[in-house]
Structure 1
């Protein structure tokens, strides 16, 4: 899917790997929560603290675990219009009813925001039309964090291009990251 017009850079956020209702993710990723219930509530609070009602959120996969009631409980409480790029866990848990709650559900997306080309996928790719074409690639999946203590495929992080960024909650203080924040991060990385 490709979106080109009508996207205001001041109303866009990105996130990934919320894993709502996934009771093992707290332990696996060493998240600072006492329970999955506490994690769910804190992720919702942090999301709603930055995303406006008229905001647009691109969630890059692994949104929620469990039955439709779990998904509905979360979706009923989150601000913004949500576009979902499917992650490896989503395909096991999403159905048509839940998919209809999102603005769009896709395997990948390409955006044009303020002249900037952006490629969205759950997984990081080494070949996506990157730096030499000016395209950013935003991704999740690897659960990177500032301490780099519990990262899937940690050894591969050194291969990423400066125009790639992990928008997952573990890497962004459990909060969606704005377009402007990503823009600043990538500008600082460019030579």
Structure 2
């Protein structure tokens, strides 16, 4: 199966607490990191693919070491397709590539993309980027993105899949913090967001 997430911001202590940008109600980064790992692994198996749309980890005053980030990512189930966010750097991607492992024949643990990825799902295209795109008039194309944390683009075709995204509130079945979204949940969000915007709500 395919899953989608963004803006995990492992190690980002400044996000802890109740704030308007990215509320994370944990007592420590250790607790936050573990909550994401646990939620992720409760859903994802090593047979699955998770598209991570950027900002894997961050510490404003002292970016976590590549070794620390690798240790976290190695605990996450599935194949990780990593799209570079503004807080990810090429040195990290090179380090992860050097320490890549195989989940099976020709199936590396990590794959890397600097800008974005396009896949098909249920007769739609998912164009996955870190930053939200202004695509204009589209037909059966949805932009999955991160970057804006607890904010939402008022366009149904732009869906924030970040762990802090307000779109998560549209799901009938609430998911634990850090759980990657399924294809079915993407479409549930899309149709509900479409209906809310048609009724003049955002």
Q: 2:161 aligns with which of 158, 167, 171?
A: 167
Residues 64, 90 of structure 1: 8 Å contact kept: yes
1:18 aligns with 2:22: no
Greater RCO, CA 8 A, separation 6+? 1
Moved >3 Å (runs of 4+): none
Q: 2:23 aligns with which of 10, 24, 30?
A: 30
Question: How far did 1:93 drift?
Answer: 6.0
Residues 64, 93 of structure 1: 8 Å contact kept: no
For the pair shown, the structure with the greater C-alpha radius of gyration is 2
Superposition map of 1:86-101 within 5 A: 86-91=84-89, 94-99=92-97, 101=100
Superposition map of 1:123-142 within 5 A: 123-127=131-135, 132-142=138-148
Superposition map of 1:17-96 within 5 A: 17-27=7-17, 29-65=22-58, 66-91=64-89, 94-96=92-94
User: Given the two structures, how large is their TM-score scaled by the length of structure 1?
Assistant: 0.79
User: Given the two structures, how large is their TM-score scaled by the length of structure 2?
Assistant: 0.75
Separation in 2, partners of 1:190, 1:72: 38
CA distances 1:27-58 after superposition (whole Å, capped 9, x unpaired): 46230100111100111001111112211100
Residues 21, 70 of structure 1: 8 Å contact kept: no
Structure 2 unaligned spans of 5+? 59-63, 101-109, 169-176, 196-202
Separation in 1, partners of 2:68, 2:91: 10
Q: CA RMSD in A?
A: 2.0
